A and B are shown apart, each in its own frame.
Chain A
Amino acid sequence: MIAKPHIDWFALSPVLALLAASGLLLMVAVFVGRRPRKAVSTFIGFAGFVASFIFAVFLDVKSAHGAAIVHDSMFRDRWAALAQVLIAGAGAVTVLISYSERWRDEHVAEYFALLAAAAAGMSFFVSASNLMTLFLGLEWFSIALYVLSAIDIDLIGSLEAGLKYLIVGSVGSATLLFGSALVYGETGQLSFDKIAAFGHPHDAMLVVGMAMIIVGLAFKSSSAPFHMWTPDAYQGAPTPVTAFMSSATKLAALVVTYRVLVTVFPHDQRLWTAAIAVIAIVSLAWGNIAALVQRNVKRILAYSSVSHAGFMLIAVAAANALGGRALLYYVIPYSAMSLGSFAVVAARERELGVPVTLQNLAGFGWERPFLGVSMWVFMLGFLGFPLTGGFIGKFYVFAAAYDRGWWWLIVAGVIATMISAYYYLGIIRAMYFREGAERQFTAGAVPAPAGGSPSRELLLSAGVAICLVVTVGSFFAVQPLIDVAHSAASALPF
């Protein structure tokens, strides 16, 4: 007779809601007629994410004391719950952005099913409390994302993006798995707490295992030098998928990185903080410098997301309570800005029917005032300008680095920000300072828009509006957000 572990269904509810939505959507793909399918599947996808969001919020409220559940395979604590809230929120916005993407109609329900499945995997991933569930969660959302990247086969580069992501991503997963095996081989334990209890500093196998786990997770958070897939995958994938990857995947990977390092390897803190600091600086340098020479807006944003991984890793490298707070605060405006900016790119892409470059962004700000101003705010937020949460986020990250006594990380961050000003403001310049008419005279390389005024895309605008509210709101409502982040961060042993 197998002893059944006690299962805390409530703690699993954010994951289960998404899984239910995913299953339902697969049914829709089969049973609902072609015409209503798009509307029905969008609605179910959105409802699933909202349900998951609500469950995660309740879970956050009711998990003041962290605990390991389901036979020590998952954590029920605020660190995970907050990440689940953000993942579900990002997913909901992604659904809104995706609605009028040009899918072939028979793929639309499958698309939302995969999206919900990916988000379910991430929600599971962030609550993992042993190496097995960690790997399971990672593969779960990765496989869904590989398919999502390649789903629009008609789109040039989509299949290539999916394939690149699949191959490079598998290397990352394999590295993580190998590292986990080494850790298990040395300690004989899978659960995070028990590994920590077993370990002693500078155990060679453990250190190698730790390094491989860091690398495996760094692939997912697309931190340099493990970001090689990022520009191609972000550029080639359908834009809403890119938006989802750049926000939810990144935040899940970073949140897990922090948790794993702090809970599993407390004895080797000196080693991993240094390693993370190096990765952070490489990401900042590589992401920002590579972004300078890009012309394609999605590629610029991809490299910008690499550099932001660098900023968030500064918070991880700080390895203190302030760093935990800084990371959790940072991901909130960052996810919103990332989703929002890709959404604006998606809108322009649909309007023109070609990839969006700095060249054909000309005049966009004046033609679509709301989306233009939103993009403006998102770029300033990435840059860390006031009136956006990006400013406070950077400030917190720097404060965390200072708290650790690593002022040179502040200097690195400041220099990176200076460089990034060029391309973020370059996007604003492209949108506003050049007239739309000028575009037609330049080289003739850009085909004229299809004609007629662009569709209004209410759902996409609503998604952008949500992102805008979060980006700006997080600047004013710092204290409540920090309180939330504070209670979440206190779930980790600092």
Chain B
Amino acid sequence: MNHWLTTILIVVPFAGALVIALAPLPRYWLGSLATLISLIEIGFWITAASKFSFGDASLQFAQNHPWFRDLGVSYHVGQYAYSLWLVGVTVVVMAACVIYGWWAGRERARAYFALMLLLTSAIVGVFTAQDLLLFYAFFEAMLIPLYILIGVWGGAGRLRATLTFVIYTVVGSLLMLASIVIFGLQQGTFDLTKMGTSSSTWLFLGFVAAFAIKSPLFPFHGWLPETYRESPAEVSAVLSGIISKVGLYGLLRIAIPKFPSVVHDWRVVLLVLASISLLYGSLLAFRAPDLRGVIMYSSLAQSGLIVLGLFAGNDLGFDGAVLQMINHALISTTLFLIAGMIERRTSTGEFSRLGGMARGRPALATLVMTIGIISLAVPLSTSFAGEFLILAGVFQQAWIWAAIGAAAIVLAAMYMLRWISGILHQDPGAAVSDSALDLRVGELAIVVPLVLCLLGLSAWPNLISHRSFGGDHATTTLVQGQGK
């Protein structure tokens, strides 16, 4: 039974998507059915987590069937501890976003919910695929629902936004495809657990291009502004919360362990790019004129920070990076969903027309404050733990990276406080009328669980940071232990 768990996690949302798309159900049921399926998915994940042995650094819940033998491609899925956490945050975030879509009453519900569930399935697949070609298949499969979700349910500029988004991602992923074909055929197998390492810079850069575009990392973030502004709020949440983690996961799972010597040579380049993303993203976030602008540029900055941790090349960096990926997924989803809720009330996200919403809206004020404080990495919060680990890790490379990271934390405080006060404080803005009510129970039911997860992690960040690499040292597990 246990070895089926990964497959179940992939298949349940996929089957759900098919049922919703094909079964002749009344429209009214579709949202609740999709919600039910995403909650069932969470249930399966909890089952998986309870059966997972965190002291074991090897692949768990693995299933391996040959797909086509002559090129050594197989359906090989399974989870390491860090993949388990990423899958967990995926199913939680996707459930929140599906419920948000239900609550927001998206038109063309059948297509909408089917695509959201399809997306869930593809993302879980990416995090669990242990075969390079399978990984690529899931990686590309994510793009299909995203393209339609943005293009159909997006804002007025959606046509342009989808075009930019697709051009960037397709270019990246096809470069990766070229790398995958060559790398896999060189090795004679596409199985990640059996593949050796390579010292080819070109192959490495092919992978990094795809992952840096997804994450995104400076200077590959050109698709970010339009896409995040034109997408429906919950799709932006998925993009910045989860899809960006796919890029980072790719670095963690493929680029770093498979190309140790190239990573060694290119470490400084990537650290520089990460630092630029961090500082530049923070500054842009501070200057952004609207709610989504702050969140999306802060997620550019956070990607930079996590890449700093990944390329620190030591246990602290890896542990911190994984913890921060989970943190940021939850934080950024919550921020985008709250932004969406505010936009629905005021039909604008611009700070110049917002403000003063704290008065008479205690639930909103409390939530915005809580999530804002957590995301600016105040001590005792889980993001403080993550950032501290990353900075401590990257400090061992050179003090300058840690100094940049520390400076960025200050900037984070500046832009997040500006975000909070832009919504809550000062006089009510032009777009804020009295008919803009406080958050309703339905909305609280979406956001509060996410915040509770973050508070729980704040109390116990070790849950993730000590349990991501099977009790072993991260560097040994990742770089040397791949053959197990």
Contacts and interface: CB of A to CB of B under 8 A. Distances in A.
A385 B144 contact: yes
Interface string B58-72: 000000001111110
Given A399-B185, A433-B158, A482-B68, A385 B141 contact: yes
Contacts of A429: 151, 159, 162
A418 B108 CA distance: 30
Nearest to A407: B182
B177 interface: yes
B284 interface: no
Contact of B167 (A380, A398, A422): A422
B67 A478 contact: yes
A414 B178 CA distance: 7
B351 interface: no
Given A386-B141, A429-B159, A432-B152, A402 B69 contact: no
Interface string A56-72: 00000000000000000
Contacts of B158: 433
A160 interface: no
Give the most central of A391, A395, A411: most B CB within 10 Å: A395
B133 interface: yes
Contact of B108 (A366, A391, A395, A422): A366
Contacts of B177: 395, 398, 414
Contact of A385 (B67, B140, B148, B171): B140
A421 B177 CA distance: 15
B170 interface: yes
Given A414-B174, A417-B174, A421-B166, A402 B141 contact: no
Interface residues of B, number: 35
Give the most central of B138, B152, B163, B181: most A CB within 10 Å: B181
Contacts of B137: 386-387, 391
Interface string A425-456: 10011001100000000000000000000000
A487 to B, nearest CB: 12
B144 A380 contact: yes
Give the most central of B108, B138, B159, B170: most A CB within 10 Å: B170
Given A366-B108, A402-B182, A433-B158, A478 B68 contact: yes
B119 to A, nearest CB: 13
Contact of B170 (A322, A398, A399, A421): A421
Given A410-B181, A414-B174, A479 B68 contact: yes
Contacts of A299: none
Nearest to A415: B174
Given A386-B141, A414-B174, A428-B147, A402 B181 contact: yes
Contacts of A396: 71
A422 to B, nearest CB: 7
B164 to A, nearest CB: 12
B333 to A, nearest CB: 25
B171 to A, nearest CB: 5
B50 to A, nearest CB: 32
Given A422-B167, A433-B151, A433-B158, A399 B181 contact: yes
A418 B144 contact: no
A37 to B, nearest CB: 37
A39 B128 CA distance: 52
Given A386-B137, A414-B175, A482 B185 contact: no
A403 interface: yes
A398 B162 CA distance: 28
B44 interface: no
A148 B181 CA distance: 42
Interface residues of A, number: 32
Contacts of A395: 71, 133, 177, 181
A387 B10 CA distance: 14
Contacts of A411: 178
A417 B172 CA distance: 12
B136 interface: yes
Contacts of A479: 66-69
A418 B171 contact: yes
Nearest to A485: B70
A161 B194 CA distance: 55
Interface string B171-205: 10011011001100100000000000000000000
Contacts of B174: 414, 417-418
A331 B68 CA distance: 18
Interface string A398-410: 1100110001001
A410 B144 contact: no
A322 B178 CA distance: 17
A229 B239 CA distance: 45
Nearest to B147: A425
A407 B181 CA distance: 10
A402 B68 contact: no
B292 to A, nearest CB: 21
A259 interface: no
A403 B185 contact: yes
Contacts of A308: none
Nearest to B159: A433
Contacts of B163: 422
Contacts of B66: 479
Interface in A337-391: 366, 380, 385-387, 391
A220 interface: no
B115 to A, nearest CB: 11
Interface in B62-105: 66-71, 73
A482 B70 contact: yes
Contacts of A425: 147, 162, 166
Contact of A399 (B71, B143, B147, B152): B71
Nearest to A402: B185
A402 B188 CA distance: 12
Contacts of B182: 402, 407, 410
A475 to B, nearest CB: 8
A328 to B, nearest CB: 13
B70 to A, nearest CB: 6
A464 to B, nearest CB: 16
A148 B343 CA distance: 58
Contacts of B141: 385-387
A307 to B, nearest CB: 15
A340 to B, nearest CB: 17
5 contacts: A386-B140, A391-B140, A396-B71, A421-B167, A433-B152
Given A380-B144, A386-B140, 12 more contacts: A392-B68, A395-B71, A398-B177, A399-B181, A414-B177, A425-B162, A425-B166, A429-B162, A433-B151, A433-B162, A478-B73, A479-B67
Interface of B: 66-71, 73, 108, 133, 136-138, 140-141, 143-144, 147-148, 151-152, 158-159, 162-163, 166-167, 170-171, 174-175, 177-178, 181-182, 185
Interface of A: 322, 325, 366, 380, 385-387, 391-392, 395-396, 398-399, 402-403, 407, 410-411, 414, 417-418, 421-422, 425, 428-429, 432-433, 478-479, 482, 486
Q: Top 4 A-B pairs ranked by shortest CB distance?
A: A386-B137, A478-B68, A433-B151, A421-B170
